[in-house]
Structure 1
Amino acid sequence: MAMNEQGARILIVDDEPQIRKLLRVTLQAYRFVIHEAATGEEGLQQAALVRPDLILLDLGLPDLPGLEVLSRIREWSLAPIIVLTAKDREEDKIVALDGGADDYVTKPFSMGELVARIRVALRHAASQSINEPVLTFGALTIDLIHRVVELNGERVKLTPTEYDLLKLLAVSAGKVVTQRHLLQQVWGDQHSESDSHYLRVYIGHLRKKLEADSTQPQFILTEPGVGYRFRSRD
């Protein structure tokens, strides 16, 4: 575990005692400092009091909708929020991500996967405060100042739209970025999810230029029905 992850404060907001216990015991073993809340209101109070480095937020809370808790925390906090949901509907995931969540995990979940996603979210949050003009992902480098992309030391020729799409995904490495957000940021507010064919075409172009095997991508990963996730930096 990276040094900046050790001792990170994690707030668990979930009304199920057995889930909180499982998360507490497991995450404490990874040297995280755990705080808990069983309701939305308690979660809001703890978030303000503890100022956690990351929040695990259940959407099915007894007093407040999880999305309302998410929205209220996002009014003042940039701490990564990973949504825990028993709902597997794509629209629920999209609404949560567009509402400010950094990631989502569907119950029942693998603790190994959850810990990995927590680490990615913490690393991404830490990198946000660092001015990095060049992003590096293995053999791929993206020079944000000069808008130059290189793979294995050789320049990759991208169209302006391809570059804008790649940049948007890369600066959010490790996070799920919804189709809606990508369309609005790259093509403008006049485009919506109904125009997702634009996205598929350009993602296909990028994969052909960046991936050794575009059918098994290593950089741009698909979150079916939701959006895309750029590989996190190791």
Structure 2
Amino acid sequence: MYQNNPNIKLTENTDTVIWKYLDLSKFLDLLLSQKLFMSRSDKFEDQYEGTFSEPTYEEIKKLAIDNPEFINYYKTHREKIAISSWHINEYESFAMWQIFTQNSEGLAIQSTIGRLQKSLYPETSFKQFIGEVNYIDYKKEYIPFDDSFFPFLFKRKSFQYEREVRVITDVSKNNIKLNDGLKINVDINELIEKIYIHPKSENWYKNLVIQLVKELGFNFSIEKSDLESDILI
């Protein structure tokens, strides 16, 4: 179970539906390893990931005049943070299918905030939290820096469509070296409520996923996305 941090925003409604869109290879890796991959924070496409807004940076620069290591700490700290991103939405997202899957051969994991919380095993070797991302204007708005997790819970407003909730892991107090990321233990049956197959996929692909899941000993509900269902007129 994850740790609670009163400084981090997270809805109290544990039934809030969340999604992860991914390709088949990553999905099979999740099932086979029974570990959730978390990407190192500075490996995301968004170069602003884990950085500060302009008002905050100006304040940090002033504090760093007498302590130049202050800024270096934040730069290197990004290498010690791993993130697993989930999308909050009551329904499937056409945009998420487009962005995170390719060649009509992706799938989506449907879960809830509560399931995600319960699926994480207790970690004694590093800190781990779940929080919702805040979307702000990086030129005008302030990001607090009195908690080392805060930079990773803010993104620019242009990413607002992601409606992201994150599992964030901090290994800075350990000797763990993150290359591309980190895998953490999860209870797969608790984590996954339902699987949706890509809306443009063929029937053979859906049958393949069903067969693979069955052979690996899982019995999730699997259905094809209805975003491409037949029109009624």
TM-score (norm 1): 0.23
Q: Which is bigger in relative contact order (C-alpha 8 A, separation at least 6)?
A: 2
* Greater strand share, structure number: 2
